[in-house]
Chain A
Amino acid sequence: MAHSGIEVLFEGQNFARLIGGLETTIAIAFVALICGLALGLILGVLRTLKNRVLRLVLRLYLEFFRIVPTVVLLFLFYYILPKTAGVNLPANEVAMLVFALWTAAEMSDIVRGALISVPKHQLESGLAIGLNRWQLYRYILIPQAVSLEIPATINLMTRVIKTTSLLLLISVADVINVGQTIVEANSKQYPNSVFWIYGFIFVMYFVIDYPLSWWATRMNRRRLERVND
C-alpha cells in the first residue's frame, strides 16, 4: 500500500483542515436545527388553531419550502437578499437562515400531523372535564403527539445534516469544499487523493447520520408494536 495515496489525508495540515471544515458544517447544522425546530414547533401548533388566514399563510409558507429544492433556496437567498433587501450576510449565515426556515417548514408539518392524529375522543374527554384550550394542549395533545413526532423529527435532523453537503454551492468553506481544495492541490502528487478525501467525507457523514436514523427507526418500530398489538 506504499502508493495507495492514503497519506494525503495526513500530509501537512490536510487532516486539521478537513476537521475544520467539518466543524463549520456541524456548526451550521446545529444552529439551523435549534432555530428551525423551535420555530417549527410553534408554527405547527399555530396550524392546528381555527384561524383560517393564519392557517393559509402558514400552509403557503410550507408549500413554498416544500416545492423549491434546497439548492435553489440557497441560491435564492444568496443572490436576492443583498440585491433586494440590501442585507449582506456572509454565506455561512445565509445557509443557517435557509436551513432554519426550511427545517421550520418541515417541522411544522410533523407537529401538525402528530397533533391532529391524537384520537378525537381524547380531545372531547378533555373538554368534558372542563380543560381550557391551553390545558388541552399541555396535558392531552402534546404529550401524546410527542411519541409520534420524535422519530420523524430525528429523521428530519438527519436530512438537514445531509443537506449541509450543499453548502459548497454558495462557497461556504465546509468539509466538502475543503476536501475539494485538497484534492485539487494534490492531484499531481497523489492522483488517488480524490478517492481518500471523498471517501473520508462519505464516512464522516455516515458516522454522524447512521446512529440518528438507527435510533429513529427503533423508536418507530416500538411505537408500531404498541399500536398493532
Chain B
Amino acid sequence: MSSWQIIQQSLPVFQKGFKLTLWLSLLGITGSIVVGIGCSLLRYFRVPGLSQIATVYVEVSRNTPLLVQLFFLYYAFSIIGIKLSAELCGIVGLIFLGGSYMSEGFTGGFDGVSHSQIESGKAIGLSKWQLARFVIFPQGLSQSIPALAANIIFLIKETSVFTVIAIPELTNTALDLIGMYYHTNEYLLVLVVGYAIILIPLSIVLTLVERRVRYGTFGN
C-alpha cells in the first residue's frame, strides 16, 4: 500500500478528530473569553472579596500545566464524587486555563491605557463608571486584541493535551492509528497538516483584525 493510499484511508477517521478539536476549541475559547472578561472586570472595579478570589484563581490557573489540571479534574475529582465525562473535563479544563490567560490579556489592555487619557477624562468630570465606559474599555479592549489573538491560537493548540484523558481529538486519533497500524510518518503528516489547516488561516485572519482595530490608542 502506498503512502498516499494509507493517508486516504485514514482521512475519514481524522475528519472526526478534526471536528472534535474544532468543537472543543470553540466551546473552550468562548467560555474562556466570558470567564476572562468577568475576572478582569471584577479586578478592574476592585469588587471587594470577589476581586481577590479572581486574582487567586488567575494565579493558580496560569501557573500550573493544563495536563495536571486535567488529571485533577478527571481522576481526583471522581474520588470526591464528581464524575465528569472526558469531553466535559476537557472543556472545563480548557476554560479553567484559558479564563486566566484571557483575564490577563484584558487586564493588560486596561492597564495599557495611558494616564493622560484617564486624567483628561477626570478633568472633564467623568464619573468612575463613565471613565470606564467611554475611555478605558474602548481603548483597553482594542489594546488587548493581540493578546486575545495569541490566546486563541494557544488554546487551540492546548487541545492536543486532551489526548492524555483519551478524548478522540486530532492528536489522539493520530496516536491511536499509529498504535494500530504503525504507519507513523503518514499519520504524523496528516496530523501536522490538520493543525496547519486550522491555525494558518486563523492566524492570518487574526493578524488582519489586529491591524484594523489598532486605531484605539491615542497618538497613533
Q: A80 touching B185 by the CB < 8 A rule? A: yes
Knowing A199-B76, A213-B63, A224-B111 touch, does A80 contact B68 (C-beta < 8 A)?
no
Q: Which listed segment binds B: A48-56, A136-144, A158-166?
A: A158-166
Q: A68 touching B65 by the CB < 8 A rule? A: no
A27 interface contact, C-beta 8 A: no
A61 interface contact, C-beta 8 A: no
Knowing A71-B163, A210-B59 touch, does A76 contact B192 (C-beta < 8 A)?
yes
Q: B112 touching A191 by the CB < 8 A rule? A: no
Select A198's contact among B75, B171, B191, B195, beta carbons within 8 Å: B75
Q: A194 touching B79 by the CB < 8 A rule? A: yes
Interface centre among A71, A158, A224, by most chain B C-beta atoms within 10 angstroms, is: A71
Kindly identify, within residues 177 to 196 of chain B, every residue whose CB is under 8 Å from any CB belonging to chain A: 178, 184-185, 188, 191-192, 195-196
CA distance A75 to B195 in the complex (A): 14
Interface size of A in residues (CB-CB distance below 8 Å): 41
Q: A79 touching B184 by the CB < 8 A rule? A: yes
Knowing A67-B200, A80-B185 touch, does A206 contact B64 (C-beta < 8 A)?
yes
Q: Which listed segment binds A: B45-53, B126-134, B154-162, B208-216?
A: B154-162
CA distance A168 to B71 in the complex (A): 12
CA distance A205 to B97 in the complex (A): 14
CA distance A71 to B203 in the complex (A): 20
Main secondary structure of the interface of A (DSSP, over half): helix
B60 interface contact, C-beta 8 A: yes
B23 interface contact, C-beta 8 A: no
Contacts of B116 in A (CB 8 A): 228
Q: A198 touching B72 by the CB < 8 A rule? A: yes
A69 interface contact, C-beta 8 A: yes
CA distance A183 to B79 in the complex (A): 13
Q: B175 touching A75 by the CB < 8 A rule? A: yes
Select B68's contact among A76, A202, A210, beta carbons within 8 Å: A202
For the complex formed, measure the closest distance between the CB of A42 and the CB atoms of chain B, giving whole angstroms. Answer: 24
Interface code A154-184, partner B: CB below 8 Å = 1, 0 otherwise?
A: 0000100011111011000000100000010
CA distance A69 to B171 in the complex (A): 9
Nearest-CB residue, chain B, relative to A197? B76
Q: A168 touching B63 by the CB < 8 A rule? A: no
Q: B163 touching A169 by the CB < 8 A rule? A: yes
CA distance A18 to B159 in the complex (A): 27
Select B188's contact among A69, A79, A199, beta carbons within 8 Å: A79
B43 interface contact, C-beta 8 A: no
Measured CB to CB, the residues of A under 8 A from B are: 66-72, 75-76, 79-80, 83-84, 158, 162-166, 168-169, 176, 183, 191-192, 194-195, 198-199, 201-202, 205-206, 209-210, 213-214, 221, 224, 228-229
Q: What are 7 of the A-B contact pairs (CB < 8 Å)?
A: A69-B158, A79-B184, A83-B185, A176-B67, A198-B75, A210-B59, A228-B112
